[in-house]
Structure 1
Amino acid sequence: MSGGAQPLALILIPAAAVAAPLLADRLLRWVAVPTVVFEIVLGVLIGPDVLNWAHVDSLVDALSQFGLAMLMFLAGYEIDFGRLRGGPLRRAGAAWLVSLVLALGVGALVNRDPLNGAFAGLALTTTALGTILPILRDSGELSSPFGSLVMATGAVGEFAPIIAIAALLSGNSPARTAVILGAFAVITAVAVLGARRPRPAWATRLIERTLRTSGQFAIRAVILVLAAMVAAALWLDLDMLLGAFTAGIVSRLLLSDIRQEEEEEEVIEAKLESIGFGFLVPVFFVVSGMKFDLDSLLDDPGTLLLVPVFLLLLLAVRGVPAGLLAPAGLGPRDRVGLGLYGATALPLVVVITTLEVDAGHLPSSTAAALVGAGMLSVLAFPLVAQRVRGGARPSAPAGPGRERGRAESW
């Protein structure tokens, strides 16, 4: 890269991040397009395969990795496992296991290498929880029994693939991988127990005193948890995704009892989301677009044909089991809606394919087709789900968020 190219990339990447929500807002009167779709598309536009204005060097790649860690952290932070105990979580887990078996079978058919086929199939088992939660929240359904089922499906569709990635990318034998995951589970259990302990009075006072000052004790503590869990995962030869995701769960527990008159919990979460969704996460998705292998996708008609094939496979592998294994009392329209929401997948598809291409387990052309199918899924499946169930169109573009309403249990 020439000496003048990097400064241009440092301008164009945040410019693309700014343009993405503007474009999403302009299209809102016709269709709700998730901001992440525009981030990836704009990354493709400024990247080497189209305008060739910006390239990925070590600095840009490092920022992208920080964005990936923050994305997984916020995904873990969004999940409230306390709401999902019992039926919804058990059914979602069973549906994901069926999806995993189907996905591994599909992967074996499309790739002669069993390991590479497993990686390709794993991308079909994910669910874009951060994309579908705001849609349900805006329609007022997230606190309903149906919303609880969708949340459970999305939680498993994010957590379980991350565990699978950590196991597959370790390169260890199954026995050693089991031991390593067990060790990480012990570390996680200790962190969770520590997070659930009553916080000392001095810590509460310090959080309140520095919440709106340069001290920012609560934010620094959360970042320390993120760094510690990522370091623990890397130390155990696991992927950092598992550490970052677990750090989000631990941090949610750590901050769960902050409920003072000034609503410190909401302020802290807003600050974390500002760091993540305002800075680091958009960098990851724009850079992912810059890495997107558009040439191989367009040059080969067979590769381009894989996009609708993978879109149908997302629906068949992920959506059908989620709908069929729903509670017996769920109506046909709700089953179809649950399946469509469960098959909505993009962020983790980008994450998995990026890791697999970097590790040499997946051709960049296949990865491009999978990401293309993921983008189509977030555009089409939630909208169709709302139409099938008779819901209103969302009033805001789909993006990460959460809802704290109490849900009934199935």
Structure 2
Amino acid sequence: MDLHVLTLAGVVAVAIASGAAARRLGQPAILGELVAGIIVGPALLGLFEPDVALSIIGQLGVVLLMFYIGLHLDLDDMRRASNAGLLSALGGFVVPAAAGFFVMRWFGSDLTEALFVALAMGVTALATKSRILLDLELLTTRIGHVLMAGAVYADVAAVVLFTALLGAAASGSIRLSVVSAVGAEAAAFLAISAAIGIFVIPALSRRLGTDRVSAGTRFTIVMFVALAFGGAAEFAGLHAILGTFFAGLFFGAGGLPHHARQELQKAAHSISIGFLAPVFFVVAG
């Protein structure tokens, strides 16, 4: 058996055990997986020399996790939570970012270093937040919709700000042309995704929801579309998880029959949360 297969088996075992231990203590499973990754990960991964394949497996897991999260949420509830989500994003980003900036400046860091730390402290990982809400059974509540909407705002803004900081670090000044280009690409992705979600996916969902399409074929086609959304998000300078999240939202609201949607949710849950996503969080820890 190849070493990378042994590594995967070891990581899966650690993920299962640590997640179960966290749940027994009344904590979300993701906490156990991350802590296990911090404590056990270096020894386990160092012993078996992890390769690129393990990282790809983990990345695929978190991408499919975000598709499942989107499929699980209600698009109308997300729209209604958008204004409160914006306030949540501002509060959740500005306060820690400002604290990080002033602390770094207090200790003598230059402006660019302080801004990098501020951005790192202000950003909340979309995948981590959604997994915590899911583990705590808060994802489909009002607070879950508000926090998820805020996380989307923060994720897009973080990409634009990070690009501006990279340009400033390289050239010594912030280039508005670069920032504008990144912002335009992100806006174009969001607009095109919304158009596809409104006009294309409902028609596709109705076709896929018929009895002539098997569950396996339906899942394969939906996964192709979700990964295409993820690839488009990366092409626009965003993260793939944002694209697959939107794909899940649109398919969830796009007219799939209840039984077809339930089948998709079960399949995505089994593959992502049941197997691949815990690998990502252990490796990330």
Q: TM-score scaled by structure 2? A: 0.78
- Residue 6 of structure 2 is matched in structure 1 by 8
- The structure 1 segments of at least 4 consecutive aligned residues displaced by more than 4 Å after TM superposition are 49-52, 124-127, 169-172, 198-203
Distance 1:62 1:257, change over 3 A: closer
Q: Deviations over 1:57-98 (max 9, x none)?
A: 211111122123223323333332312444x44233223223
Closer/same/farther in 2, CA of residues 168 and 5 from structure 1, 3 Å limit? farther
Aligned counterparts of 1:20 and 1:114: Cα–Cα separation in 2 = 35
Structure 2 residue runs without a partner (length 5+): 168-177
Q: Which residue of 2 aligns with 1:128?
A: 129
Provide, for residues 225-260 of structure 1, a one-character-per-residue CA deviation record: whole Å limited to 9, x for no partner. 121112212223333232232222223233x4312x
Aligned residue in 2 for 1:253: 253
Deviations 1:149-197 (A, max 9, x none): x123322232122212332455572211221112112320222121233
Q: How does 1:381-400 map to 2 (within 5 A)?
A: none
Match of 2:21 among 12, 20, 23: 23
Equivalent of 1:205 in 188, 195, 211: 211
Structure 2: distance between partners of 1:14 and 1:187? 37
Match status 1:177 vs 2:182? yes
Contact 1:13 1:283 in 2 (8 A): yes
C-alpha contact (below 8 Å) 2:226/2:243 kept by paired residues: yes
Partner Cα separation in structure 1 for residue 92 and residue 19 of structure 2: 33
Quote the offset at 1:20 in angstroms: 3.0
Matches within 5 A, 1:1-400: 5-24=3-22, 27=24, 31-48=25-42, 52-86=46-80, 88-111=81-104, 112=109, 113-123=113-123, 128-133=129-134, 135=136, 147-148=141-142, 150-170=143-163, 173-193=178-198, 194-197=200-203, 199-200=205-206, 204-207=210-213, 210-211=214-215, 216-254=216-254, 256-259=255-258, 263-289=259-285
CA distance 1:288–1:43, change in 2 (3 Å) = same
* Residue 55 to residue 190, structure 1, CA distance change in 2 (3 Å): same
Q: Matched residues in 2 for 1:228 and 1:59: separation?
A: 21
Shift of 1:124: 5.4
SS of residue paired to 1:32:
coil
Among the aligned pairs, what percent are the same residue?
A: 24
Kindly report the root-mean-square deviation, in angstroms, between the aligned alpha carbons of the 2 structures.
Answer: 3.0
1:227 alignment partner AA? L
CA distance in 1, matches of 2:157, 2:7: 34
Cα-to-partner distance string for 1:348-381 (whole Å, 9 max, x where unaligned): xxxxxxxxxxxxxxxxxxxxxxxxxxxxxxxxxx
Q: 1:96 to 1:257 in 2, by over 3 A?
A: same
Between 122-131 and 32-41, report the one with greater CA deviation: 122-131
Q: What is the DSSP-based 3-state SS (H/G/I as helix, E as strand, rest coil) of the residue aligned with 2:210?
A: helix
Deviation per CA, 1:104-129, whole angstroms, max 9, x where unpaired? 31231244314412332223597834
Letter matched to residue 228 of structure 2: A
Do the aligned partners of 2:65 and 2:268 also contact (CA within 8 Å) in 1?
A: no
Give 5+ residue unaligned stretches, structure 1: 290-410
Residue 131 of structure 1 and its aligned partner are, at CA, apart by: 2.5
Q: Take 1:105 and 1:280, find their aligned partners in 2: how far apart are those partners?
A: 35
Per-residue displacement from partner, 1:250-280 (whole Å, max 9, x unpaired)?
23233x4312xxx332122111111111121
